Amino acid sequence: MTGPQTERAYPVRPLEGDDDSRFTVGLLFDVCRVIERHGYPPVARGADLVELQLALFRFLYGPSERQAQA
Protein backbone atom coordinates (compact mmCIF):
# COMPACT_ATOMS: atom_id res chain seq x y z
CA MET A 1 0.00 0.00 0.00
CA THR A 2 1.45 3.34 -1.01
CA GLY A 3 0.16 6.84 -0.70
CA PRO A 4 0.59 10.05 1.24
CA GLN A 5 0.30 8.30 4.60
CA THR A 6 2.92 5.62 3.83
CA GLU A 7 5.51 7.61 1.88
CA ARG A 8 8.53 8.71 3.86
CA ALA A 9 9.78 12.28 3.99
CA TYR A 10 13.32 11.12 4.85
CA PRO A 11 16.00 10.70 3.69
CA VAL A 12 16.35 14.04 1.93
CA ARG A 13 18.97 15.39 -0.46
CA PRO A 14 21.52 17.87 0.92
CA LEU A 15 20.84 21.45 -0.16
CA GLU A 16 24.13 21.89 -2.03
CA GLY A 17 25.59 18.72 -3.52
CA ASP A 18 27.20 16.88 -0.63
CA ASP A 19 26.94 19.89 1.69
CA ASP A 20 24.00 21.10 3.73
CA SER A 21 24.25 24.23 5.85
CA ARG A 22 21.38 22.98 8.04
CA PHE A 23 23.45 20.08 9.38
CA THR A 24 25.40 21.91 12.08
CA VAL A 25 26.91 21.28 15.49
CA GLY A 26 24.04 23.40 16.79
CA LEU A 27 21.54 20.87 15.43
CA LEU A 28 23.46 18.07 17.13
CA PHE A 29 23.44 19.91 20.47
CA ASP A 30 19.72 20.68 20.12
CA VAL A 31 19.06 16.95 19.69
CA CYS A 32 21.26 16.27 22.74
CA ARG A 33 19.16 18.67 24.84
CA VAL A 34 15.91 17.06 23.70
CA ILE A 35 17.23 13.61 24.61
CA GLU A 36 18.25 14.89 28.06
CA ARG A 37 14.85 16.56 28.65
CA HIS A 38 13.23 13.17 28.07
CA GLY A 39 15.20 11.70 30.96
CA TYR A 40 18.16 10.12 29.20
CA PRO A 41 21.69 10.69 30.48
CA PRO A 42 23.53 13.71 29.08
CA VAL A 43 25.38 13.10 25.83
CA ALA A 44 28.74 14.43 27.01
CA ARG A 45 31.44 12.08 25.76
CA GLY A 46 33.10 12.46 22.40
CA ALA A 47 32.32 8.93 21.21
CA ASP A 48 28.62 9.35 22.09
CA LEU A 49 28.48 12.68 20.24
CA VAL A 50 30.06 11.12 17.16
CA GLU A 51 27.63 8.18 17.19
CA LEU A 52 24.64 10.49 17.59
CA GLN A 53 25.90 12.72 14.78
CA LEU A 54 26.32 9.70 12.49
CA ALA A 55 22.86 8.36 13.35
CA LEU A 56 21.30 11.77 12.70
CA PHE A 57 23.17 12.08 9.39
CA ARG A 58 22.03 8.61 8.28
CA PHE A 59 18.43 9.39 9.19
CA LEU A 60 18.44 12.74 7.38
CA TYR A 61 20.39 11.79 4.26
CA GLY A 62 20.26 7.99 4.03
CA PRO A 63 23.12 5.52 3.76
CA SER A 64 26.38 6.54 2.16
CA GLU A 65 27.34 5.15 -1.25
CA ARG A 66 29.86 2.86 0.40
CA GLN A 67 27.20 1.41 2.71
CA ALA A 68 24.74 1.00 -0.17
CA GLN A 69 27.27 -1.08 -2.13
CA ALA A 70 28.07 -3.39 0.79
- Tell me how far apart the alpha carbons of residues 70 and 66 are, in angstroms, rounded to a whole number: 7
- Position 55 scores a pLDDT of 97
- pLDDT classification of 63: cutoffs 50, 70, 90: confident
- Position 17 scores a pLDDT of 83
- Tell me how far apart the alpha carbons of residues 23 and 54 are, in angstroms, rounded to a whole number: 11
Structural domain boundaries in the chain = 14-63
- Position 2 scores a pLDDT of 56
Whether the pTM exceeds 0.85: the reply is no
pLDDT digits (tens, 9 = 90+) for 23-62: 999 999 999 999 999 999 999 999 999 999 999 999 999 9
